[in-house]
C-alpha cells in the first residue's frame, strides 16, 4: 500500500482547468491589445460572467494567468516548477517531484499515512535489538551499528512525517489547502479562510469520497471536478435564505443535500454589478407603491 500510494502520488498528472476557462481567440487578441488594466479587467469580467467562480484577487480583480492564458477557477494556482495551473493546488512537493492538488491529494495523504505506519513498524521491530545494544547484550558484530542506524532513521522519519500528516489532517478537516492557510481566498464579502468549509464530515468526504470502503485505497474517489466547489458563503447567501424561509419544503430539500451546487450563472453576484440586483421591474414597483399607499391609508384611518 505504501509503494502503491507513493507511485500514484508521483505519476498522477496535476489536474488543469478545462477549456471553458480559456479565453476565446477574439477575447485573447483584444486582451493583448489593451494596455489599460481597467479595460483588460472588463474583458475578463465579460468572459467570466458565465463561469462558476466566486473568488477574486485581493484587489477585487479577476484571477487570470498570463502564462497559461486562462481565467483561474477557484482554488487554482500556477505552479512555477510544473509551469501549469493546478486545480486546488496545495503545494509542489520535492519529495515526489510533483504538484499536490485535486488529482492526487488523496494519494498524498495515504502516502503520508502508510509511511508513518511503515516507520512505526520498523522502529517497533528494531526496538528490542536497540535495547540490547545499550545493555551490551547484543553480540559484538558490525550488525549492531546497522541496528542503531536503522532505529534512529525510522524514529526520525516517524516524528517528521507525524507532524506533516497531522497538519494535513487538520487542513482536510478545515477544507483548506496549504496556500489558503497563508493567503485566505477573497470572496465578495472579503477574505475568508473558512469560505470552503462545509463541516468536518463533509470536508472529509470531499477529499475521500462517499464510499468509505475506498478511503484507504489509493483510488481516486474525491468529489467534484476540481473547477468549482461548494462554498459556505454561497450556501449562507442572504437572498437564498430569504427565499427558503418563505418556502419550508424547499428549505428542507436544500438542507438534505450533502454538496449543494453553486449558484446558477445568472446568480453569480461576484461578477455582475450591484445595479443588476437593485433594479426592479415595473410590476414590482406598482406592487410596492400600492403597498405603501395601503399602509398610509390604514394609518390615517
Is residue 262 a contact partner of residue 228, using CB atoms and an 8 Å limit? yes
Q: What are phi and psi of 260, to 5 degrees?
A: -60, 145
Give residue for cell 442572504: 238
Is residue 64 a contact partner of residue 55, using CB atoms and an 8 Å limit? no
Half-sphere exposure of 179 (CA within 13 A, CB side): 19
85 CA to centre of own chain: 14
Cα–Cα distance for residue pair 163/69, rounded to 1 Å: 37
Cα–Cα distance for residue pair 263/53, rounded to 1 Å: 10
Q: Of 65, 93, 169, 200, which is the active-site residue?
A: 93
**Does 93 qualify as catalytic in the annotation?**
yes
Cα–Cα distance for residue pair 272/210, rounded to 1 Å: 34
**226 Rama class: left (phi>0) / alpha (psi -120 to 50) / beta:** left
User: Which residue numbers are catalytic?
Assistant: 93
Amino acid at each position: 500500500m505504501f509503494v502503491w500510494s507513493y507511485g500514484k502520488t508521483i505519476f498522477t498528472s496535476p489536474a488543469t482547468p478545462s477549456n471553458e476557462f480559456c479565453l476565446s481567440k477574439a477575447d485573447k487578441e483584444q486582451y493583448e491589445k489593451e494596455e489599460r488594466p481597467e479595460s483588460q479587467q472588463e474583458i475578463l469580467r465579460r468572459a467570466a460572467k458565465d463561469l462558476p467562480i466566486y473568488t477574486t484577487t485581493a484587489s477585487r480583480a479577476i484571477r487570470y494567468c498570463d502564462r497559461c492564458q486562462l481565467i483561474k477557477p477557484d482554488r487554482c494556482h500556477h505552479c512555477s516548477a510544473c509551469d501549469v495551473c493546478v486545480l486546488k493546488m496545495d503545494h509542489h512537493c520535492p519529495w515526489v517531484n510533483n504538484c499536490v492538488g485535486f488529482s492526487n491529494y488523496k494519494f498524498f495523504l495515504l502516502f503520508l499515512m502508510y509511511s508513518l505506519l511503515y516507520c512505526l513498524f520498523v522502529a517497533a521491530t528494531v526496538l528490542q535489538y536497540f535495547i540490547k545494544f545499550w545493555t551490551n547484550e547484543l553480540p559484538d558484530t558490525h550488525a549492531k551499528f546497522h541496528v542503531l542506524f536503522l532505529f534512529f532513521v525510522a524514529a526520525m522519519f516517524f516524528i517528521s512525517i507525524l507532524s506533516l500528516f497531522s497538519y494535513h489532517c487538520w487542513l482536510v478537516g478545515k477544507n483548506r489547502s496549504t496556500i489558503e492557510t497563508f493567503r485566505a481566498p477573497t470572496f465578495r464579502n472579503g477574505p475568508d479562510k473558512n469560505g470552503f468549509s462545509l463541516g468536518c464530515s463533509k470536508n472529509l468526504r470531499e477529499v475521500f469520497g462517499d464510499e468509505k470502503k475506498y478511503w484507504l485505497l489509493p483510488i481516486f474517489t474525491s468529489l467534484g471536478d476540481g473547477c468549482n466547489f461548494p462554498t459556505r458563503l454561497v450556501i449562507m447567501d442572504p437572498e437564498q435564505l430569504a427565499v427558503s424561509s418563505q418556502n419550508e419544503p424547499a428549505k428542507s430539500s436544500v438542507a438534505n443535500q450533502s454538496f449543494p451546487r453553486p449558484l446558477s450563472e445568472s446568480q453569480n453576484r461576484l461578477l455582475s454589478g450591484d445595479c443588476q440586483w437593485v433594479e426592479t421591474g415595473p410590476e414590482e414597483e406598482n406592487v410596492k407603491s400600492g403597498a405603501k399607499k395601503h399602509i398610509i391609508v390604514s394609518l390615517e384611518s
